């Protein structure tokens, strides 16, 4: 079935044009978001939307293996079909264009483009060439992430991110992609959310490959960051005109009380979530407090690694979703203390826009060499239903408005933020939660693959149209 992108043509649906919902979203007149050079786009990731896992020579990834393992993913869902974007990409690009979105952040599936011996897979490469060329033709600014968690299974079979060799294989992959796709990518991100790959994948086992040991997490993180550092100069050499960066998810930790122990717990939470990644990248060293939290987990670091990891970046991608209220665990760590009576999303995550502003302004103080920032993901899951052809995702509309206001405040406080990508363009495979959690601004009916533009997307489109008209 074709995508239902026609909903957003020249006329908006009646409820939106009436004004009340539009007021809920539209940024105030003095918002920096009205500046035309502030990029507004949407993001997706390969395993979450593409499907076609056995087509055109794609090899298995760790997420194929993990999701096929009983008990790992809610309802036994897998990414085998997902949004069938591999076959529907043309209509999906039309949909993106019809919404007036200016940027698109996608990821490339490593197992689709290279075999175990490093030989390029032409059919897989051609998919991304067609997609990126079309986006360029349509005037969309393209952000491509090289690794959004779908590690080839054959590399995991040799130790995955616990094996230093994987970092060198990643640099080979970055070399191939930047030679093949040079000129079609405006910004390359090496990794998406290394915290999730290292901690959820190797530290607590909630994500693929499902290992659970803090020592594994710190070693996997080191190899991920090394992979990033090895790839950056390769990308620079092959595709000098594009920007090069990395994407980190960040978490706000707030203390449950004024006690020194709870303040320390909140500090340690942010060390574990933010400084673990940002310090090596921007200061060339791991934060020592991390090893107070996890004693005896120092990774093996070879001479020169930290210099490789901390080479200058053109941009830093920031993904933000929620805050965590924490208290001391009575030993050297923290424990979550969920707050009562606060607004939450379908994920159970607290809606806390101030956390985004506070973290960004804090980073500006902590890191003197903080690169320009793009908010590469922000959004929320809700249990969206299609009624009479519409999806009234009112909480998301308000969520987006409040988080965009936090971005505006951070910009006004002096943080160099250049753009914002909605997570996500469409509902998709939400990892261990399968298809139940809907993050899209476009609804996907997984039984028919019909796309329905949600009210939030209509309002973003309306804002972008107004902004363009004013320019
Ligand atoms: O869906 C994920 C995405 O893949 C990475 N960042 C967080 C999103 C929501 O959980």
pLDDT at 383 over 80: yes
Torsion angle defined by CA atoms of residues 357, 360, 366 and 369, in that order, rounded to the nearest 10 degrees: -150
**Number of CB atoms found within 10 A of residue 362's CB:** 16
Q: What is the pLDDT of residues 414-445, one digit of tens each?
A: 999 999 999 999 999 999 999 999 999 999 99
Closest C-alpha among 269, 286, 267 to residue 277: 286
User: Phi and psi of 409, rounded to 5°?
Assistant: -65, -40
Protein residue with least CA distance to atom 4, ligand 1: 45
- Phi first, then psi: what are they for 49, rounded to 5°? -125, -25
CA 206 to ligand 1 centroid distance, Å = 13
Rounded to an integer, what distance in angstroms lies between the CA atom of residue 226 and that of residue 191?
11
Question: Coil, helix or strand for 144?
Answer: strand
Residue nearest to atom 2 of ligand 1 (CA): 430
Q: How far is CA 251 from the centre of its chain?
A: 13
Q: State the pLDDT at residue 18.
A: 53
What's the confidence (pLDDT) of residue 22?
Answer: 67
- The total number of structural domains in the chain stands at 1
Q: Which of 469, 429, 422 has its CA nearest to residue 103?
A: 422
The CA dihedral of 455, 461, 465, 470, to the nearest 10 degrees, is 90
Q: How many CB atoms lie within 10 A of CB 321?
A: 24
Q: Tell me the two tokens of residue 25.
A: 């979203």
In the structure, what pLDDT confidence band is assigned to residue 279 with cuts at 50, 70 and 90?
Answer: very high
Average pLDDT of span 86-100: 98
Phi and psi, residue 393, nearest 5°: -95, 65
CATH number of the domain bearing residue 221 = 3.20.20.80
- Return the active site residues: 193, 377
Mean pLDDT of 382-411: 97
**In this predicted structure, what is the pLDDT of residue 24?**
79
Q: CA distances (Å), 210 to each of 72, 111, 215, in order? A: 9, 19, 14
Q: Which two tokens stand for residue 201?
A: 């994948």
DSSP assignment string, 299-357: PP--TTHHHHHTS--SEEEEEEEEEEEEEE-SSSSEEE-PPTT--B-TTS-B--HHHHH
User: 7 pLDDT band (50/70/90 cuts)?
Assistant: very low
Average pLDDT of the residues in 175-196: 98
Phi/psi of residue 408, nearest 5 degrees: -60, -45
The counts of H helices and E strands in the chain are 18, 11
Q: Tens digits of per-residue pLDDT, 330-356? A: 998 999 999 999 999 999 999 999 999
Extract the tokens encoding 358. 């506070």
pLDDT over 70 at 2, yes or no:
no
What would the mean pLDDT of 449-453 be, rounded to a whole number? 98
From the CA of 49, how far away is ligand 1's center (Å)? 12
Measured from the CB, is residue 150 less than 6 Å from ligand 1? no
Please give the pLDDT value at position 9.
37
Task: State the pLDDT confidence band at 376, using cuts at 50, 70 and 90.
Answer: very high
- Residue 247 confidence (pLDDT) above 50: yes
**For residue 327, what are the domain limits?**
2-470
- Distance from the alpha carbon of residue 430 to the mean position of ligand 1, in angstroms: 7
CB 410 within 8 A of CB 356: yes
Q: Please, is 325 exposed, middle or buried when counting C-beta atoms within 10 Å of its C-beta (0-12, 13-18, 19+)?
A: buried
Q: Is the CB of 429 under 6 A from ligand 1?
A: no
Q: Check residue 14 and give its pLDDT.
A: 52
Name the residue with the closest Cα to ligand 1, atom 1: 430
The string of pLDDT tens digits covering residues 8-46 is: 434 445 555 555 666 778 999 999 999 999 999 999 999
Percent of the chain with pLDDT over 70: 95
In this predicted structure, the answer to whether residue 411 has a pLDDT above a threshold of 50 is: yes
CA-192 nearest atom, ligand 1: 5
Among residues 49, 35, 38, 50, which one has the least CA distance to residue 103?
A: 38
């Amino acid at each position: 079935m074709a995508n239902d992108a026609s909903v957003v043509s020249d006329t908006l649906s009646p409820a939106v044009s009436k004004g009340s919902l539009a007021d809920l979203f539209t940024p105030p007149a003095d918002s920096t978001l009205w500046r035309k050079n502030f990029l507004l786009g949407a993001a997706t990731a390969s395993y979450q939307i593409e499907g076609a896992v056995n087509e055109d020579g794609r090899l298995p990834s760790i997420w194929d293996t993990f999701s096929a393992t009983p008990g790992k993913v809610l309802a036994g869902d897998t990414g085998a079909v997902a949004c069938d974007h591999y076959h529907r990409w043309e209509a999906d690009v039309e949909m993106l264009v019809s919404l007036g979105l200016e940027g698109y952040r996608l990821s490339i599936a490593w197992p689709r483009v290279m075999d175990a011996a490093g030989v390029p897979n032409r059919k897989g490469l051609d998919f991304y060439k067609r997609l990126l060329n079309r986006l360029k033709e349509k005037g969309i600014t393209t952000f491509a992430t090289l690794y959004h968690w779908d590690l080839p299974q054959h590399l995991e079979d040799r130790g995955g991110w616990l094996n230093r060799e994987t970092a060198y294989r990643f640099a080979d992959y970055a070399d191939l992609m930047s030679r093949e796709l040079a000129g079609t990518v405006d910004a390359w991100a090496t990794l998406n959310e290394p915290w999730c790959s290292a901690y959820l994948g190797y530290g607590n086992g909630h994500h693929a490959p499902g290992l659970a040991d803090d020592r594994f997490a710190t070693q996997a993180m080191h190899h991920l960051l090394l992979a990033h550092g090895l790839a950056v100069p390769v990308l620079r050499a092959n595709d000098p005109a594009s920007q090069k960066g990395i994407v980190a998810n960040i978490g706000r930790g707030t203390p449950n009380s004024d006690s020194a122990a709870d303040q320390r717990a909140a500090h340690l939470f942010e060390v574990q979530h933010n400084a673990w990644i940002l310090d090596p990248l921007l200061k060339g060293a791991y934060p020592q407090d991390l090893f107070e939290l996890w004693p005896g987990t120092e990774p093996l670091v070879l001479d020169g690694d930290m210099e490789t990891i901390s080479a200058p970046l053109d941009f830093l991608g920031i993904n933000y979703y929620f805050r965590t209220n924490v208290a001391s665990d009575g030993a050297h760590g923290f424990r979550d203390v969920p707050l009562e009576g606060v607004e939450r999303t379908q994920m159970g995550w607290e809606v806390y826009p101030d956390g985004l502003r506070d973290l960004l302004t804090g980073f500006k103080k902590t890191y003197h060499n903080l690169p320009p920032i793009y908010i590469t993901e922000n959004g929320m899951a809700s249990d969206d239903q299609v009624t009479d052809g519409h999806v009234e995702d009112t909480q998301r509309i308000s969520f987006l408005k409040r988080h965009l206001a936090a971005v505006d405040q951070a910009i006004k406080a002096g943080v160099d933020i250049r753009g914002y990508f909605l997570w996500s363009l469409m509902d998709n495979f939400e990892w261990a939660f399968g298809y139940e959690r809907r993050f899209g601004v476009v609804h996907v009916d997984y039984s028919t693959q019909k796309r329905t533009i949600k009210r939030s997307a209509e309002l973003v489109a309306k804002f972008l149209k107004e902004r363009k008209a004013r320019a």
